[in-house]
Amino acid sequence: MPQTRISSPLPARELAVDGLACERDERVLFSGLSLSLKPGELLLVEGQNGAGKTSLLRILCGLAEPVEGEVSWNGRAIHSQREDYAAELFYLGHLPGVKLDLSPEENLGFVRSLRNRPSREQILAALKAVGLYGYEDQPARTLSAGQRRRVALAGLCLSDAPLWILDEPFTALDKAGVAWLQDCLSSHLERGGLIVMTTHQALELGRQVRSLAL
């Protein structure tokens, strides 16, 4: 698949987590979690099902509140700069947020129009990059699970956010899709981006990956 990514360097940012604790139904999932992530680093969150991987990612995004501790972005707590932080974050959760009644082009166009407002050509190029060329006008309802996933992932091509938080991004992707996404991740790291992700897929990025076991 062709690469359409923009390759200008990203602003240097730092994600720091201090003394984070998370509970679910009175059960402590993790506590005293501290770490920091610098440009060009990828943090792989590992753990068995139910270990709190998704909960951690949602806390890092600011969607959920930790019981204790603080997440900071560039030295400031994320809840004190919600909108600035949101502008520098690309989050892909379990549910891709793809509207089944809209076409891939409309879906991607909407999400991106609230961010960096790419042109129609850029949107079509991004859809082409994820292998949805020829499907851009069909309702997402008629696409397969992997293709719906690709609609959301196409946003990565258009994103200029330094921080990517991806929850199981490889789910439902075929081999070509996996290779494309690995490429996409490597070039983001090369540009000085930060990635926090969970996956059960073996990563081959040609660089050191930090891992965090929950």
Partner 1 sequence: MSAGLMHAFVAVLRRDLLLALRRRGDSLNPLLFFVLAVTLFPLGIGPEPQRLAEVAPGVLWVAALLATLLSLDSLFRADHEDGALEQLMLMPQPLSVLVLAKILAHWLVSGLPLLLMSPLLGVVLHLPEASFGALFLGLALGTPVLSLVGAIGAALTVGLRRGGMLLSLLVLPLYVPVLIFGAGAVAQAGMGLSYAGQLAMLGALLALSLSLAPLACAAALRVTEN
**Which residues contribute to the site for partner 1 (CB under 8 A)?**
61-65, 83-84, 86-87, 89, 91, 93-102, 106, 110-111, 113-115, 117, 139
Tokens at 163, concatenated: 């921080």
Helix (H, G, I), strand (E, B) or coil at 42: strand
Rounded to the nearest 5 percent, the helix, strand and coil shares of the chain are 35, 25, 45
Q: Which is nearer to partner 1, 103 or 203 (CB)?
A: 103
Would you say 12 and 192 are in contact if contact means Cβ atoms under 8 Å apart?
yes
Q: Which is nearer to partner 1, 99 or 191 (CB)?
A: 99
Do you know the residue count of the chain? 214
Q: Which residues make Cβ contacts (< 8 Å) with residue 142, sequence separation at least 6?
A: none
* Minimum gap (Å) between residue 85 Cβ and partner 1: 8
Q: Which residue type, as a one-letter code, is found at position 40?
A: G
* Minimum gap (Å) between residue 47 Cβ and partner 1: 21
Q: Which is nearer to partner 1, 87 or 213 (CB)?
A: 87
Q: Which is nearer to partner 1, 58 or 203 (CB)?
A: 58
* Minimum gap (Å) between residue 58 Cβ and partner 1: 8
* Minimum gap (Å) between residue 107 Cβ and partner 1: 9
Beta bridge pairs of residue 91: 165
